């Protein structure tokens, strides 16, 4: 058959049979006739996604700036393509580093959406895996496991959480290295089919990249997630409450700010994750407080308001008072 009548995303018009170039010969995007940034934005409907990113995620300024940069590059690349200017299709593999609870997973989900809207991946699905899903228990077990994860992620995003666990220098017979090699190969050869995002704590990821220079060089975007400021954490708490149809009263707001201040000094502070847990516990206390007032009629405001009392009962304050 000389030419095909179909045009599949990720293939050129008449793909050469049995050619490694099959997918890379035409990138996922094709000429859409757009000539201005606004037109591309309109066609891809990327703007609402970016706006939602700015609106829904509090803080994370450097991360947002970087995402905007990436989105801008992809938009400009599309405009260039419409003039037939070939540019190397960008490498979109990323590493997200940051402390627990700084929003790495959340941003990964958003990133998948953005890349999908821009047409750089074919679907917006994220396959989240950890070492257990990639590395096998015995010889010959690792390759099929890693490949299975990769195959599931094809067309979307493969999110490897705690990626530094893949490499265990203390055990030279560890199968993690094998998994890394397969990942590298696919990250290089199937750049158009999937985007790999590695996530983990900053210091450990740095060691990981140092011992795997191949991995480091194949990742174009290193995004560092900063810890949240106290004011940002307070905003996050209000947002989380609003999502669940709760609210702080004035006293509770003040108490919670104190709570954040004290909790932040303590060990194992998990940023937004700690805030979520604190809110869960405050909800429990509010529920039992209302539960004891068995004869009182409860209004909607009673049911949705968390008071200072619910926050101050936390054991965090016990140490502070004494």
Interface with another protein (CB under 8 A): 1, 4, 6-8, 10-12, 14-15, 17-19, 22-23, 122-123, 125, 144, 147-148, 150-156, 186, 190, 193-194
Which residue lies nearer to another protein by CB, 11 or 32? 11
Give me the least distance between CB of 4 and another protein, in Å please.
5
- Cβ contact 234:278 at 8 Å: no
Strand blocks (E) in the chain: 94-98, 126-129, 157-160, 195-200, 221-225, 247-248, 305-306
Give me the least distance between CB of 194 and another protein, in Å please.
7
Which residue lies nearer to another protein by CB, 50 or 114? 114
Give me the least distance between CB of 289 and another protein, in Å please.
45
The DSSP code for 158 is E
Q: Kindly report the CA angle at 219 between 19 and 206, in degrees rounded to 5?
A: 145
Which residue lies nearer to another protein by CB, 48 or 144? 144
Give me the least distance between CB of 18 and another protein, in Å please.
7
Cα-trace Rg, the chain: 24
Beta bridge partners of 198: 95, 160
Which 3 state secondary structure label does DSSP give 192? coil
Which residue lies nearer to another protein by CB, 10 or 200? 10
Give me the least distance between CB of 181 and another protein, in Å please.
15
Q: Within 13 Å and on the Cβ side, how many CA atoms surround 249?
A: 13
The DSSP code for 161 is T
Give me the least distance between CB of 246 and another protein, in Å please.
36
Tokens of 84: 């037939």
Which 3 state secondary structure label does DSSP give 196? strand
**Angle between helices 250-265 and 272-292 in degrees, nearest 10:** 140
- Cβ contact 194:23 at 8 Å: no
Give me the least distance between CB of 129 and another protein, in Å please.
12
Which residue lies nearer to another protein by CB, 6 or 83? 6
Beta bridge partners of 98: 225
Give me the least distance between CB of 283 and another protein, in Å please.
35
Which residue lies nearer to another protein by CB, 104 or 122? 122
Which residue lies nearer to another protein by CB, 7 or 266? 7
Which residue lies nearer to another protein by CB, 15 or 270? 15
Which residue lies nearer to another protein by CB, 16 or 169? 16
Q: Kindly report the CA angle at 271 between 267 and 276, in degrees rounded to 5?
A: 110
CA–CA separation, 234 vs 253, rounded Å? 8
The DSSP code for 165 is G
For 37, 63, 88, 105, 216, the CA distances from 242, given in Å and listed in that order, are 35, 24, 44, 21, 40
Give me the least distance between CB of 80 and another protein, in Å please.
24
């Amino acid at each position: 058959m000389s030419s095909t009548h179909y045009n599949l995303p990720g293939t050129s018009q008449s793909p050469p049979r049995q050619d490694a170039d099959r997918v890379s010969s035409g990138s996922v995007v094709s000429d859409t006739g757009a000539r201005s940034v606004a037109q591309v934005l309109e066609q891809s409907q990327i703007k609402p996604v970016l706006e939602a990113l700015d609106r829904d995620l509090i803080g994370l300024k450097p991360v947002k700036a970087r995402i905007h940069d990436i989105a801008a590059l992809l938009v400009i690349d599309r405009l260039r393509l419409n003039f037939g200017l070939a540019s190397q299709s960008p490498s979109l593999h990323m590493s997200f580093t940051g402390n627990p609870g700084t929003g790495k997973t959340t941003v990964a989900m958003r990133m998948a959406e953005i890349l999908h809207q821009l047409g750089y991946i074919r679907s917006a699905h994220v396959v989240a895996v950890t070492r257990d899903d990639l590395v096998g228990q015995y010889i010959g077990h690792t390759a099929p496991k890693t490949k299975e994860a990769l195959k599931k992620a094809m067309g979307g995003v493969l999110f490897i959480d705690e990626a530094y666990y893949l490499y265990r220098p203390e055990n030279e017979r560890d199968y993690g290295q094998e998994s890394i090699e397969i990942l590298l190969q696919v990250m290089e050869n199937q750049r158009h089919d999937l985007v790999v995002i590695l996530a983990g704590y900053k210091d450990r990821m740095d060691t990981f990249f140092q011992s795997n220079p191949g991995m480091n060089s194949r990742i174009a975007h290193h995004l560092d997630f900063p810890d949240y400021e106290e004011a940002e954490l307070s905003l996050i708490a209000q947002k989380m409450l609003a999502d669940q149809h709760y609210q702080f009263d004035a006293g509770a707001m003040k108490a919670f700010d104190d709570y954040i201040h004290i909790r932040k000094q303590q060990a194992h502070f998990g940023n937004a994750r700690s805030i979520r847990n604190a809110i869960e516990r405050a909800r429990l206390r509010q529920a039992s407080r209302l539960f004891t007032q068995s004869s009182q009629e409860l209004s909607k405001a009673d049911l949705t308001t968390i008071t200072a009392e619910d926050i101050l009962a936390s054991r965090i304050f016990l140490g502070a008072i004494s």
